[in-house]
């Protein structure tokens, strides 16, 4: 039982149902899980949802093909290390049928840069890092 600031006793489930922000477990970069009606799925952030919707529209218009969400590669078996991108798709231009891997990032961390280099070394895949349109860049001059 918990004693909330207002007094009385409530169960933890009751308290956190009324105060979800205090539960923790949020994203350290404050990304909000976002539902997309266009793609009929959740995305990890608003920026990822926006890019996913753009790609879904391009696929419907036959500009790109074979759009996949969350394609994953194994970088190491022991210990198991994986890299999961946001999107993968094939270009449908007559002179360019290449496979593209994209990841929407508001913050490019050292861990991500390491995994991107590892992915390129192991599989020869270069990931296009798309800056999140919703990420607020503090303290930087444009």
- The per-residue pLDDT for range 40-49, each reduced to its tens digit, is 999 998 999 9
- Provide the domain limits for residue 81: 45-136
Task: Give the residue, 138 or 94, on which the prediction is more confident.
Answer: 94
- Confidence check: pLDDT of 135 > 70: no
Whether 75 is covered by a domain: the verdict is yes
Residue 132: the pLDDT is 82
Please, what's the b/e burial string for 22-44 (b: 16 or more CB within 10 A of its CB; e: otherwise)?
eeeeeeeeebeebebeebeeebb
Residue 90: the pLDDT is 94
Q: Exposed, middle or buried by CB within 10 Å (0-12, 13-18, 19+), for 12?
A: exposed
Q: Exposed, middle or buried by CB within 10 Å (0-12, 13-18, 19+), for 74?
A: exposed
What band does 89 get if pLDDT is binned at 50, 70 and 90?
Answer: very high
Whether 57 is covered by a domain: the verdict is yes
Nearest to residue 106, comparing CAs of 139, 137, 140? 137
Whether 8 is covered by a domain: the verdict is no
Whether 18 is covered by a domain: the verdict is no
49: Cα separation from own chain's centroid: 8
Q: Which residues pair with 82 in a beta bridge?
A: 74
Whether 52 is covered by a domain: the verdict is yes
Number of domains composing the chain: 1
């Amino acid at each position: 039982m918990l004693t909330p600031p207002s007094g009385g006793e409530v169960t933890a489930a009751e308290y956190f149902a009324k105060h979800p922000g205090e539960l923790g477990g949020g994203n350290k970069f404050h990304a909000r899980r976002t539902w997309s009606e266009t793609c009929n799925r959740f995305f990890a952030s608003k920026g990822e949802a926006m890019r996913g919707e753009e790609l879904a529209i391009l696929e419907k218009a036959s500009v790109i093909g074979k759009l996949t969400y969350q394609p994953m590669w194994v970088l190491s078996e022991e210990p198991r290390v994986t890299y999961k991108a946001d999107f993968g798709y094939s270009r449908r231009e007559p002179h360019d049928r290449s496979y593209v891997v994209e990841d929407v990032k508001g913050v490019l961390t050292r861990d991500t840069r390491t995994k991107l280099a590892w992915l390129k070394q192991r599989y020869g895949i270069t990931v296009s890092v798309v800056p999140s349109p919703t990420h607020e860049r503090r303290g930087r001059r444009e």
